[in-house]
Amino acid sequence: MEQLIQELRELLMEAGVDRAVAGAVRSEAPLLRQGVDSLDYPAFSLAVESRYGLSIDERDSLSLRTLDDFAAYIRERVRGESPIGRIRRDWKTVNPGRDYEVGPLRPGDGRGVAQLFYSVYGDRYPVEDYYVPERIEQLNAEGALLTVVARLDDGSVAGQGAFYQSSPPNKALFEFGQVMVAPEYRETRMAARIIREMDRLSHTMTQAQGFFGEAVCTHTVTQKLVDKWGYSECGLEVALMPAGAYEKEGAGARRVSCLLGARVDRDRSMPLHLPECCRPALELILEGFRLERAIRWSPADQPLAARTSLERRSFDFAQVERAQALAVGADFPDIAALLDREAVQRGLAVLQVYVNAGEPGAAFAVEALRERGFFLGGLIPIWFGPDAILMQKLYVEPEFEAINLHSDRARAILGHIRADHARACATL
């Protein structure tokens, strides 16, 4: 439902609603009472009809007052039974020992990809789109998702990987991930072949400036495979996902951490404002990249703006919120306090804040976050266009001993992050 509500917010903007208004709309409240005027409303309804292939009659339109109303209407008429129920009904056995080919997704492969997500994650993957075959194929057609599949000679999908637009505000930075192989083929070279084909395709993606990935730390298999394709470790998201999301994969930790890695293919010269307090860790991360940066270290620089520009997204199942400071303002300490207070009230496990380091104010923001118990997560190139500093706060106890890392470089980054976490705990 969360993903569908986000899609509806995007359609509000397509219909002419101001971005700030659309982002602030509460899903349970009437749209006409939240800045969506009588001209925007019919344009929004037409956009919904176009996106989901609906024809909303006049009687139905009278009952569609909130985003929740629209979401329920779409689910009932377009998606019918639940996506998981449909996967179970259409289940196709993946037979071992068959020949297979690896290549881009074709029409009809969406069903097998959705089944693969369910076989690996159960019903706990946080983005519902990947359980809906038509949505998988639509996203590929739109270029927001590039899926590579391992297709058996009987048409079944036994493995996949993908490049996709996800959290970065810079939509030319694609996430690399979702590499999954059915249990029947995990003793083969299928995963390696998928990643090799993804690497080949990545060099043809002229729309991409770079790529990043989040490799789970319950094992080092994915870390080993991507290490050879030019990615460099740049951070660690501690306790990011509940172990339940990986229970079929044998995860034993209370929560699973993820190693961040990135590859920049099309760089440009730009300023980089960094906090002096994190210098050893950030210098280590920067050593892994060849970036054209005019680096300015500061203990606490001053932001250019009075007000912070912030985007927020919650991942309810994971108990995670990701806040993006597109621009840091003088009010950032108040913003940090609000985020922290609301995280406690909502029972979050993790709060992440990505700080735009392309303008003065990054060190100011980092210092404000450190005072509230945040610790360093990493430095991700071109996240905003400019680079991002990731700061994170945990409201659960981390299990650092459960983090498995492949490279010495990754272990060195963990050492810095773990030390900063200890410092954060000591300040509270």
Closest by alpha carbon to 396, among 318, 329, 338?
Answer: 318
Q: Is residue 256 part of a domain?
A: no
Same domain assignment for residues 411 and 292 = yes
The pLDDT, as a whole number, for residue 401 is 94
- Phi, psi angle pair for 181, to nearest 5°: -135, 135
Same domain assignment for residues 286 and 419 = yes
The pLDDT, as a whole number, for residue 20 is 86
Q: Is residue 225 part of a domain?
A: no
Same domain assignment for residues 346 and 397 = yes
**For the whole model, what pTM was predicted?**
0.78
Domain count, the chain: 3
Residue type, 236: L
- Residue 159 sits in a domain whose CATH number is 3.40.630.30
The pLDDT, as a whole number, for residue 26 is 87
The pLDDT, as a whole number, for residue 244 is 67
Contact 321, 394 (CB under 8 A): no
The pLDDT, as a whole number, for residue 121 is 87
Coil vs helix vs strand at 130: helix
Same domain assignment for residues 307 and 289 = yes
Q: State which of 164, 183, 208 marks the end of a domain.
A: 208
Q: Is residue 55 part of a domain?
A: yes
Q: Is residue 214 part of a domain?
A: no
- Residue 366 sits in a domain whose CATH number is 3.40.630
Token pair listed for 254 = 């209370």
Closest by alpha carbon to 163, among 151, 152, 150, 179?
Answer: 179
Same domain assignment for residues 159 and 274 = no
d(CA 394, CA 413): 18
For the sheet containing 255-264, what is the strand order? 100-104, 145-152, 157-164, 173-181, 210-216, 255-264, 232-242, 375-380, 388-394, 350-356, 320-327, 309-315
- Residue 9 sits in a domain whose CATH number is 1.10.1200.10
The pLDDT, as a whole number, for residue 256 is 94
Residue keyed to tokens 């037409």: 46
The pLDDT, as a whole number, for residue 252 is 53
Query: What does each of the 428 residues of the chain score in pLDDT, given as a tens digit?
Result: 567 788 888 899 988 898 888 888 888 888 888 888 888 888 888 888 877 777 787 777 777 888 888 887 887 676 556 788 888 878 999 999 999 999 999 999 999 999 999 999 888 887 888 998 989 999 999 888 999 999 999 999 999 999 999 999 999 999 999 999 999 999 999 999 999 999 999 999 999 999 999 999 998 888 886 677 889 999 999 999 987 655 555 555 579 999 999 999 999 999 999 999 999 999 999 999 999 999 999 998 999 999 999 999 998 888 999 999 999 999 999 999 999 999 999 999 999 999 999 999 999 999 999 999 999 999 999 999 999 999 999 999 999 999 999 999 999 999 999 999 999 999 87
The domain of 188 spans 83-208
Same domain assignment for residues 41 and 114 = no
d(CA 321, CA 336): 13
b/e for 129-156, b at 16 or more Cβ within 10 A? bbbbbebbbebbeeeebbbbbbbbeeeb
The pLDDT, as a whole number, for residue 112 is 97
